[in-house]
Homo-oligomer: A and B are copies of this chain.
Amino acid sequence: MPFTYEYPRAALTVDCVVFGFDGEGLKLLLIERGLEPFKGRWALPGGFVRVDEELEHAARRELHEETGISEVVLEQFQAFGGINRDPRERVVSVAYFALTRLDDHRPQASTDARQAVWFNANELPKLAFDHQAIIQQALTHLRSRVRVEPIGFHLLPPKFTLTQLQGLYESVLGREVDIRNFRKRVLAMELVVALKKEFQRGRQRPAQLYRFDPKRYEQLKKSGFQFEL
């Protein structure tokens, strides 16, 4: 048969599960829908993929258009294709999760009227479409990825304390972590370097600041090292 595929086609979208961390807990960025269906409901940033556009590019573009966020770490984790996930017609969505430094993306008045708001990952409002399920999967993926790749650092500011890093892991994994064992492991990996004479001050003892060393990670990876936390 010649290539004449003239059947109706599903629409193709991308959705982004945007994670952030503020020292308190894991956060998720949602936008309020301005249109039907699900007008007024909260939803994931996302939208249609252009026919000549890479999937990841579409995710980046939609994220930028709807929330102002750019230069973000994106990872595709699953396609969602349930027949009735969109009440209008068949829409298949490729889902990405994004890891952002929350402080760089405090809620701004969004360009196009719709507002973007950070929610606690475990206190989400009622969501549009199957976005609840997408988020659930994203969390599962994040939890397993964060233990075998040093991606958690993308949720922290470039300079961070070990306490912040620990808090991040506790939030993502949903359980407490022993402070001494955690520090032992992190420092033993030598993926993180102490910044000389740089401290974070509060109303208590100043905390040593560290930064993640991506070059060091590349080195280690080449010599068979496997990140694990």
By the criterion CB–CB under 8 Å, are A82 and B94 in contact?
no
Contacts of A10 in B (CB 8 A): 9, 12, 49, 51
By the criterion CB–CB under 8 Å, are A51 and B9 in contact?
yes
Minimal beta-carbon separation of A96 from chain B (angstroms)? 10
**A88 interfacial by beta-carbon distance below 8 Å:** yes
Contacts of A88 in B (CB 8 A): 3
Identify which of A22-30, A52-60, A124-132 touches chain B: A52-60
By the criterion CB–CB under 8 Å, are A83 and B11 in contact?
no
**A188 interfacial by beta-carbon distance below 8 Å:** no
Identify which of A38-46, A63-71, A73-81, A99-107 touches chain B: A73-81
**Minimum CB distance partner of A144 in chain B:** B148
Determine which of B8, B52, B94 lies in contact with A83 in the assembled complex, contact meaning CB atoms within 8 Å: B52
Contacts of A12 in B (CB 8 A): 9-10, 12, 92
Contacts of A8 in B (CB 8 A): 51
By the criterion CB–CB under 8 Å, are B52 and A81 in contact?
no
Contacts of A92 in B (CB 8 A): 12, 49, 55, 92, 94
Contacts of A113 in B (CB 8 A): none
**A50 interfacial by beta-carbon distance below 8 Å:** yes
A168-192 contact mask (Cβ, 8 Å, vs B): 1 or 0: 0000000000000000000000000
Can you list 19 residue pairs at the A/B interface with Cβ under 8 Å?
A: A5-B11, A5-B48, A7-B48, A7-B50, A7-B51, A9-B9, A9-B10, A9-B12, A9-B51, A10-B49, A12-B12, A12-B92, A52-B83, A54-B83, A55-B81, A55-B92, A79-B94, A92-B92, A144-B148
Chain A positions near chain B (C-beta within 8 angstroms): 1, 3, 5, 7-12, 35, 48-55, 76, 78-79, 81-83, 88, 90, 92, 94, 144, 148
19 more A-B contacts (CB under 8 A) besides A5-B11, A52-B90, A92-B92?
A1-B35, A5-B48, A7-B48, A7-B50, A9-B10, A9-B11, A9-B12, A9-B51, A10-B12, A10-B51, A12-B12, A49-B81, A53-B83, A54-B83, A55-B81, A55-B92, A76-B78, A79-B94, A92-B94
